[in-house]
Amino acid sequence: MQRYFCEDKNGEIFNLSGNDMHHIKNVMRMKTNDKIEVVYDKKLYLCEIKGDEILLIKECENAKDETEIILLMPVLKERKIDYILQKSTELGVSKIIPIQMERCNINYGQKKENKVLRWNKICKEASEQSKRLTVPIVENITDFKHLKIGEGFKILCSTNEKEKSIKNVLKSTKIYDKLYIVAGPEGGLTLLEEENLKQQGFVPVTLGNRILRTETVPLFVLSAINYEMLE
């Protein structure tokens, strides 16, 4: 069943966005009495279409309390970012912060704000497709030098770290509420950037000997975290 995220609910009526209503009527060609799933405030509702309105049938499922996973990713070419956003949404990321790092060879300048709007839209669509109850937030692009990370368990994917593996580190820390992951651009983070992150509590880890593309790294780490959380 098609799933939509909604931000406005009035009693038993869900007010979906104009885009979503267009999708329901003109793309999916749904009609009165057709059923859809609507997520509002992290709760899932079964709803039906009645003319121009979306009406509640029943409440279904609440979001479980999951580990909050925050991905700090380098600013990359559009195609690579789109890919990371889609896949990391599938793999359960909670928040994504694009970081302007020294070795990023792209800077969106004045297009920044539009990009971030677009990136949030990608996450919304990927969340609908993978039937999530929450949509990851893409924050504004942050310059590395303004980066201030709060409390949490912090992992730095580093090609300079040769000893301590991500497995070693994830296994040693069984319970985490909040997990930060930082991955570098092509060419990696600079030593100065790594030093800065270490001072903010990041633990450098190796992902092993394979040479992964920039856009594959977050996917590998998120898969590893999902895997480690399995019974």
Cβ nearer to its own copies, comparing 87 with 154 = 87
Q: Does 230 bind its own copies (CB under 8 A)?
A: yes
User: Where are any strands of DSSP class E within the chain?
Assistant: 3-6, 9-10, 13-14, 35-40, 43-50, 53-62, 68-74, 95-100, 137-138, 142-143, 153-157, 178-182, 203-205
**All residues at 6 or more sequence positions from 184 whose CB lies less than 8 Å from its CB, including other chains:** 74, 101, 103, 157, 158, 159, 193, 214
Question: Is there binding between residue 220 and its own copies (CB under 8 A)?
Answer: yes
**Three-state DSSP class for residue 218:** helix
Please, which residue, 73 or 141, has the CB nearer to its own copies? 73
Q: Does 22 bind its own copies (CB under 8 A)?
A: no
Among 50, 165, 174, 196, binds its own copies (CB under 8 A): 165
CA dihedral 18, 21, 27, 28 (to 10 degrees): 160
- Smallest distance from its own copies to CB 211, Å: 4
Binding marks (x or -) toward its own copies, 51..90, rule CB under 8 A? ------------------------------------x--x
Q: Work out whether 176 is an interface residue with its own copies (CB under 8 A).
A: no
Q: How many residues bind its own copies (CB under 8 A)?
A: 28
Q: Is 226 in the site for its own copies (CB under 8 A)?
A: yes
| Contact mark string toward its own copies, 130..149, x via CB under 8 A | xx------------------
Give the distance, in angstroms, between the CA of residue 16 and the centroid of all CA atoms in the same chain.
22
Of 125-133, 152-160, 174-182, 191-199, the segment contacting its own copies by CB under 8 A is 125-133
Q: Is residue 107 a contact residue for its own copies (CB under 8 A)?
A: no
Binder of its own copies out of 107, 160, 168, 173 (CB under 8 A):
168
Contact present, 138 and 88 (Cβ < 8 Å): no
166 binds its own copies (CB under 8 A): yes
Q: Transcribe 80-126 into DSSP letters.
A: HHHHHHHHHHHTT--EEEEEE-TT-----GGGHHHHHHHHHHHHHHH
Phi, psi of 79 (to 5 degrees): -60, -40
Residue 124 makes contact with its own copies by CB under 8 A: no
Minimum Å gap between C-beta 52 and its own copies is 30
CB burial string 112-126: b at 16+ within 10 A, e below: eeebbeebbebbbbb
Kindly list the residues in this chain that would bind its own copies in the complex (CB under 8 A): 87, 90-92, 129-131, 165-168, 207-208, 210-213, 216, 219-220, 223-224, 226-231
